[in-house]
A and B are shown apart, each in its own frame.
Chain A
Amino acid sequence: MALLELQDLILNRGRQPVLHVPQLTIEEGEVLAVIGPNGAGKSTLLLALANLLPPAGGLLRFRGRPLLKKDDLDYRRQIGLVMQDPMLLDGSVAYNVETGLRFRKLPAAERERRAAFWMARLGITALAARPAGKISGGEAQRASLARALALQPALLLLDEPFSALDAPTRSALLDDVHTIFSEQRQTAVFVTHDMQEALALGSRVAVLLNGGLCQVGKPTEVFNMPASTEVAAFVGIETILPGRVLAVEDGLARIQVNGCTFEAVGEVKPGQAVYMCLRPEDFTLHPSDGTALSSARNRLKGQITRLAPQGPLVRVSVDCGFPVVALITLHSSREMGLQTGQTVNLSFKASAAHLVAH
């Protein structure tokens, strides 16, 4: 039986529908990462899962039990909520970690034992007596996580808990949370707009765009085989080319795109209209004067329109009659002496291209 099940859930803001989820289940022990851009309705979905927003329609079932009451305290005491802003109360860190335990009227000794365990687990034991207002953002988020984990919730809900932290703090906390989730087999729903976080924590990924769930699946599935061009664009596929399948032979499809013919692997039928999706890192660049033999089935020629350095990498925009974005190392770019306006050859493997039906 699923831990939590959503059926045809509709949430409105005023009279405007902002979220519609036909069906979603959360299984025991899984971490579902809900990704989507700002304003997609991720936080709304999370608050709906916490039964904190009254739905305009649909139903939530917790371990098969429908949540019909307006305020189901029994259910709320099965969950733990961590928000983007740690929202600690006025008092010491230990007082904050014990907050939810006090709500449940646990004896003081048990409260202290659990708080001490989770503060140690999250590396904030030394801060126990410190006023919550006088600790750093990263420490506050650790206290907020300890506060939720101390409840030993059946379902932990996290709303972008790392987004307000600087990169090193975020990375360290992400590692700790990953370890804790694995050790505790913690069931969690985790909302983020950061794909790296979703990949690091999620055992399943749900893509939420414009208030609707576009794809739910394993991270590799969603990132490598997006169900639509919208999902593809969100998961970092920058070259999305509309084309038509000319023929399919031994699982290899020949696709016509803007007068050029490419080969790609995919389950498509001849004559079908498709989008060919390619990540920037799928392209290989060669100088136009050299012959670079490779196993790549697809070759293109184009003119560099832009070179954008990104740390040790360079994003190369190439006009091949249609726009293509490639990602290469700064070292390669220097070696080839790439410049704007220069003509270059590009290649990509048939297995790298992902086909999405129109």
Chain B
Amino acid sequence: MQLVWDGFVKALQLLCSGDPEVLGVTLLSLQISGLATGISLLIGLPLGTLLALHEFKTRRFWISLINTGMALPPVVVGLGVSIFLWRSGPLGDLRLMYTPIAIIIAQTVIAAPVVTGLTLAALQQLNPRLQLQLLGLGASRWQMIWLLWREARLPLLAALMAGFGSVISEVGASMMVGGNLRGQTRVLTTAIVLETSKGEFAAALALSMLLLLLAYLVNLFLTWVQQRQSKG
């Protein structure tokens, strides 16, 4: 119990002292995961909408692929992205390995299927005749899609939360493609792994609490937006 207490005290000290390194790691985590979630939304929202609204021959195959992607292990993603970005890999010339961009790419690969799959599910929950009703009132295709998103905005925000949750908490891919370089690619999860491996449980616990707090605050904001919408 002493360990937990020490960790709690150290966490409070770290938080209150405004340690620049901790602050840097926290901000980098937020930036990388926020950007990866944003890019995933740009990919997942149109892709999920396409899969939900259009019938084409290979649709079922793509849906099964997206569903598999939703359970993609981060280490497998880390391995795949590493192969691509490795010096001798197909994108080796871009020299992105062990940079924050490499982590953003890996996290996007993790979050995009989550956002796509949940967008698909959100739109499929709507009455399929709603599309016909909107078109029958003179909506253009874009006006129809915009209103379908508006109708499904609560589950779509849930998709965004799930996407962010899947990347802010992952460690395998960030460690493999980022390398946990101090001041460059060290994010909260990789820092926790490092501190734990050094036996610095108090520091690891402090960083864990910071990670939980961060995830909580972001989701609190999204939940607030979601619930405000549901009342409005």
Contact = CB atoms under 8 A, between A and B. Distances in A.
Interface of A: 47, 50, 52, 71, 73, 76-77, 79-81, 83, 85, 87, 89-90, 99-100, 103-104, 147-148, 151, 157
Given A47-B132, A52-B132, A85-B129, A90 B151 contact: yes
Contacts of A73: 138, 140
Contacts of B135: 50, 52, 76
Interface string B135-157: 11111110100010011000000
B2 interface: no
B137 A89 contact: no
Most interface-central of A47, A76, A85, A87 (chain B CB within 10 A) = A87
A107 to B, nearest CB: 16
B129 A100 contact: no
Given A89-B150, A89-B151, A157 B136 contact: yes
B138 A83 contact: no
Contact of B129 (A71, A83, A99): A83
Chain B interface size range: 10 to 19
Nearest to A88: B133
B150 A147 contact: no
Given A83-B129, A87-B129, A89-B150, A103 B143 contact: yes
Contact of B150 (A90, A100, A148): A90
A81 B132 contact: yes
Contacts of A99: 134, 137, 147
B127 interface: yes
A83 B137 contact: no
Interface of B is mostly: helix
A71 B132 CA distance: 12
B217 interface: no
B133 A81 contact: yes
A79 B132 CA distance: 13
Given A52-B132, A83-B129, A87-B129, A148 B137 contact: yes
Nearest to A80: B137
A148 B137 CA distance: 7
A147 B134 CA distance: 11
Contacts of A100: 137-139
Contacts of B129: 83, 85, 87
Nearest to A83: B133
Interface string B88-129: 000000000000000000000000000000000000000101
Contact of B138 (A76, A87, A157): A76
B136 A81 contact: yes
A278 B92 CA distance: 87
B130 interface: yes
10 contacts: A50-B136, A52-B136, A85-B129, A87-B130, A87-B133, A89-B150, A90-B151, A100-B138, A147-B137, A157-B136
B227 to A, nearest CB: 14
A85 B133 CA distance: 10
Closest 7 CB pairs of A and B: A81-B136, A100-B137, A77-B138, A87-B133, A103-B138, A103-B139, A50-B136
A151 B138 CA distance: 9
Contacts of A50: 132, 135-136
A80 B143 contact: no
Contacts of B138: 73, 76-77, 79, 100, 103-104, 151
Interface string B208-226: 0000000000000000000
A122 B17 CA distance: 66
Most interface-central of B127, B133, B136 (chain A CB within 10 A) = B136
A256 to B, nearest CB: 52
A54 to B, nearest CB: 12
A71 B151 CA distance: 23
Nearest to A90: B151
A171 B138 CA distance: 29
Contact of B137 (A47, A71, A90, A151): A151
Given A52-B135, A89-B150, A103 B140 contact: yes
Contacts of B132: 47, 50, 52, 81, 83
Contacts of B147: 89, 99
A90 B127 CA distance: 13
A102 to B, nearest CB: 8
Contacts of A80: 136-137
A23 B130 CA distance: 29
Contacts of A89: 147, 150-151
A168 B46 CA distance: 45
A85 B132 CA distance: 12
B158 to A, nearest CB: 16
A90 B151 CA distance: 6
Contacts of A85: 127, 129
Nearest to A53: B132
Nearest to A147: B137
Contacts of B140: 73, 103
A223 to B, nearest CB: 30
Contacts of B151: 89-90
Contacts of A148: 137
A89 B133 CA distance: 11
Nearest to B132: A52
A345 B134 CA distance: 58
Nearest to B138: A77
B201 to A, nearest CB: 49
